[in-house]
Structure 1
Amino acid sequence: MNEYVLKTSQLSKEYQRKKALNKVNLTIKKGSIYGFIGQNGAGKSTLIRLITGLAYPTTGTFELFGENSTRELIEARKRIGTIIEGPALYPQMTAVENLETHRLLKGIPGKECINQTLKIVGLQDTGKMKTKNFSLGMKQRLGLAIALLGDPEFLILDEPINGLDPMGVVEIRELLKKLNQEYGITILISSHILSELHLLATHYGIIHKGELLEQLSAKELNEKCQQYLHIKVDNPNKAATIIESHLGTQEFEVMPDGTMKLFAYVDAPGKVSKILTDEGLVIEEFMPMGEDLETYFSHRIGGVQHG
């Protein structure tokens, strides 16, 4: 079985000699939730359009489920569910009627999938309510139900939480976790709402002006953004002994230059400084350091220079 559901190689797209994507090499592992992050116009939607067959690359190639020929990609796309630029809903129809219409359009046999899919997204009790009377969160869940028709292995969602109220955001987040963890669906989420993505994604790709700047796992990102107390004292070895014995933690590092990174007690710096001072150490530097996720992404995007 192929390890990746999606793999691009030097994928580029130009519109009127302007590069919307520039030699993008992106990989999405089976079973992951991939947070695709970038500002508006960064190239997120362009890549999604290429993958789903709504546009064609200028140069470069990509594989879906290990397949890359034109004929193979047509078949591979049948294993994908998508929401691009908002779900396509019929406002005068009920949830069941919407799904029945899309089932017929997709050529999916049998009506059993309709109630099963509505149950998955929590819309099984909407009865005769027309879609035009749904809340925005309900419409997004119905859009997901349409994307789930045909039991896709890979969901591609373009800004799925845009415009939702906080409760709607939580509902979609929990639903996507369920689809990933209980049904084994790999998910690509394009978004610029970083605070929400970090509660959901297992992997990230950062794109800026058509260039993929970085790919990393949630673990790698958390390590880069980890908060700690930066400490410099006149006797770092003694400080290490004091921290271990008095504070009962080994969550620290003594760096080659003698400074220390204390990953515990970040929320209680006064307690740390008092103990060090009481034990006769001279504190030369003492400050919290590290980045939150939004700061990290801002630095990565803002730090890119283009000629």
Structure 2
Amino acid sequence: MSMAFEDWLAILAVLFLFGGGGLSLAGLLTGRPGLGHWARWCAGSGGYLLLLVLTWRGLQVQGWPLTDLYEVLLLTAATTALACALVAPRRQEALAGACAGPAAGLMVALALLFLPSGSRLPHPPTAALGSLWFPLHVLATTLGYGGLILAGSAGLLRLLPAGRLPISPHDAEEVAWRGLSWGYPWLTLGMVLGMVWGWWAWGRPWSWSTKEVLTLLTWGLFTLAFHTRRLKGWRGWPHALILTAGLAALLLTLLAAEALARLAVPVAEYVF
């Protein structure tokens, strides 16, 4: 069976994202800031290509293309790349590209390689997902994920021993704060919209399911990071450790919550 047009677009996006990450790393290692500009361009191009894939899928089903894990992974990768291109400060664009490009590219690559082809076919939303509250919830949440993946990746680099990469702790902290200040409010809004959608679809705003508990853990860690950034005793390494823990919780929520939820609840209640 020949590959679908959207699959080729997604593969092209992966190449742009990994290419941007490679240019960013080269810029850091060689001290050539001009490479950071091209890395930002590659990240933005990869993000826009993923948005084009989602638009194409939406046109096929004549509805919101946010109904399964594959589409949510594509949107999260797009928001991560666009957070790098639009939110990160220009003087640290190479560092931001080294954080966001590989993370976004890896998400799409894993989705293409490991999600069954049948599960990646576009399909219209079910009745429970038909409310306008649901796409608003997904959009806000993935916008938050994009910024927070950038923040968590920068926090992870901040934990590396001095000399492993030619980056200053201040630059890593600045990129992390830009991602956190963008992503945390969006994630908070996404949780509120999710509760509104849950009330509309299931008659309850919160049910303490596996997905919701992991989301709450992710939000709690980034809440701690958001409010302790400037507190004495929390700056530097401790703050970076919280960001890294938040990144781990976010990836667990995004990639593993559906599999864990299938052990206890109907799959129809979980999209991402």
Common fold, TM-score beyond 0.5? no
Mark the structure with the bigger radius of gyration: 1
Please tell me the TM-score bracket, short chain as reference.
under 0.3
TM-score (norm: length of structure 1)? 0.23
Q: Which has the higher strand share?
A: 1
